Amino acid sequence: MELIDGIRYNYNGLKLGLKTPALLALGLLRFAVIFVLTMAAAWLVLDNHQEIMNLLWRQPESIWILWLWYFVSWVLSILLAGISAILAFLISQVLFSVVIMDRMSQITEKKISGQVSGPHAMSWVRMFVFLIRQEIPRTILPVLIAMVLMIVGWFTPLSPISTVLSSLAAAVFLAWDNTDLVPARRLETFGSRFRLLAGHWMFHLGFGLWFLVPGLNILFLSFAPVGATLYYVQHMDLSRSSGETLS
C-alpha cells in the first residue's frame, strides 16, 4: 500500500506544482541551477581531456597500441565527466537547491494547512546554515552507498544485482531528500528523521520510482518537494495527532 502511496503522492505533487505559479517558477529555477552547473562541470572535463590523459599516459608512438590509448582516453573522459556531474549536483544541492526545495515545501505546507511550521524566531542566515548542515549528510550518505554498490558490481560477479540495488537505493534516498524537508525545518534530530526513512522505506521507494524513468525523472525531481510535503503534512502529521508512534 505504501508503495502505491509513494507513486501517487509524487504524481499529485507534480500536478499541484504545475498549477501553482510560485511552485512552477521555483521548480524551473531548481532545474536550471542543476542543469547549468552539471553541464559546466562536464564541459570543463571534456574540454581538457587531452591534458588530463597526458598526465596519466602520454600518447604512444607505436601504432599498434595507439588505438588502446585513444580508447582509454575517452573512457577516462566519460568517467571524469560522470564524476564531475555528480560533484556539480552535490554542490548545487547543498548550496542552492536546499533553499529552493525548502521554499517550495513552505509554500506547499501553507497552501494545504494554512501555516508553515518551523522556528520562526531563527534568522534567515541561521536557517540557511542549518539547512546546509542538514543537507550534507542527507546528500553524501546516498552517494556513498551508491558508490559501494557500484564498486561491488565492478569487482564481483554480482554486477546485475548490484545495478538493480543501486538504482533502487538511489530512488529511495532521492525521495528521502524531499520528505525530510519538513522534519528538518522543525529541527528534528537526524536520527529521528533517518528512522522515518527506515520505517517507511516502501513509500520512499514508490515515490522515487518516477526518478528512474528517463526524461520524466528531471521533471519529477524538480517538483518532488511538493509531493513530499503533501505526504508529510497529510499523513505523518495526521498519524501523530491520532497518537500513532513513528517507527
Q: Residues 11-50: pLDDT tens digits?
A: 999 999 999 999 999 988 877 877 787 777 777 777 776 6
Outline where the chain has alpha helix (H): 2-19, 21-47, 49-56, 63-92, 98-113, 124-155, 159-179, 181-185, 190-199, 201-208, 216-231, 237-241
Radius of gyration of the chain (CA): 21
Q: What span, in angstroms and rounded, lies between the C-alpha atoms of 53 and 33? A: 29
Residue labelled with grid coordinates 519538513: 182
Question: In the chain, what are the domain boundaries?
Answer: 2-241
The tens digit of pLDDT for each residue in 74-128 reads: 777 766 766 666 666 666 666 666 778 888 999 999 988 888 876 655 666 776 6
Is residue 180 predicted with pLDDT exceeding 80? Answer: yes
190-194: average pLDDT: 82
The tens digit of pLDDT for each residue in 216-236 reads: 777 888 899 999 999 998 887
pTM: 0.70
Average pLDDT value for the chain: 77
Is residue 135 predicted with pLDDT exceeding 50? Answer: yes
Per-residue model confidence (pLDDT) at position 93: 65
